[in-house]
Amino acid sequence: MRVTEREREREAETQAEGARPGPRSRDPRVTPWAKGRRQTIEPPRDPRYRHDAIIISGTEMAKQIQKEIQRGVESWISLGNRRPHLSIILVGDNPASHTYVRKKIRAASAVGICSEIILKPKDVSQEELLDITDQLNMDPRVSGILVQLPLPDHVDERTVCNGIAPEKDVDGFHIINIGRLCLDQHSLIPATASAVWEIIKRTGIETFGKNVVVAGRSKNVGMPIAMLLHTDGEHERPGGDATVTIAHRYTPKEQLKIHTQLADIIIVAAELTEGRQVFGEAINFFRPHITLSDILLQQLIYLQKTNIIATSF
């Protein structure tokens, strides 16, 4: 736990007066996902703000969700249905892609889902990949299909993703699934956006009428996050009823500062360099003395003005 200079001065003054600092009281609003690492911060001078930062553990929440999915799979099978089967198409020898696929295979196994890897060389043709997706679409044994991105430059990713049947499109990248998402209809949602939405729902964080800044406009992350947050909470696929601003690499720095200062919620869904700039503006507003290294910025960090931080670790 990091301590500010002001806190050190206060503690020294307290000890000089012969008083012993009492224990911190437990905040009853701490969610079950909080890891217990608490950090006193210097909030803006407004009584509406809490004085403690709560770090929400994405890892602990994922374990709980994993148990729920495992029970769901076993219940599905007990009704006489076929065990779910995931087919992953992996192209080339990109180390990061191979690492991600291994993790997905382990995650599937942990919840009782069968899986397979279809490995193809980096010079595979687009036509061959489309033939593979066609075969998997027609295979009743296959429940879900995933093409690990990125693909080689000579292959059009959008064409290949649209070659997957929408009902088997695990990544939620098919144009029909994206369109249904934008129309507030039930669809398969891209994983990172779905994870952010799940964190918000499970922790009871209020989005209704809130100002939200989403840093990043990618079609796989930033855009679907923004769609989930701003859409009507009473539609077929309920949304967050928030007012959403999307910031990106061409958002002027001064405008970025204004947006983050007005925001109730900030979601960084960008590359690390862009994320540092956006999150840096927010942190400078919340606490001038805190640095990015203090909060271990990773791929995605969620921050609310009530000082709740969720991380991917």
Question: pLDDT by residue (tens digit) across 7-61?
Answer: 555 555 555 444 443 333 334 344 445 444 433 334 444 444 443 445 566 777 8
The secondary structure element, H or E, covering residue 63 is: helix 58-78
Are 145 and 108 in contact by the 8 Å Cβ rule? The answer is: no
If you average pLDDT over residues 211-237, what whole number do you get? 89
Reported in sequence order, the residue ranges of 15-139 that DSSP labels E, i.e. its strands, are: 34-40, 52-57, 85-91, 114-120
pLDDT(4) > 50 = yes
**pLDDT of 30:** 40
Contact 161, 171 (CB under 8 A): yes
| Residue 80: per-residue pLDDT | 95
Q: Average per-residue pLDDT in the chain?
A: 77
Q: Whole-structure pTM over 0.85, yes or no?
A: no
When pLDDT is cut at 50, 70 and 90, the band that residue 214 belongs to is confident
Average pLDDT over residues 293-312: 37
Q: Average pLDDT, stretch 66-73?
A: 94
Q: What is the pLDDT of residues 245-292, one digit of tens each?
A: 998 888 898 888 888 778 888 887 765 555 555 555 555 554 443 333
pLDDT of residue 6: 53
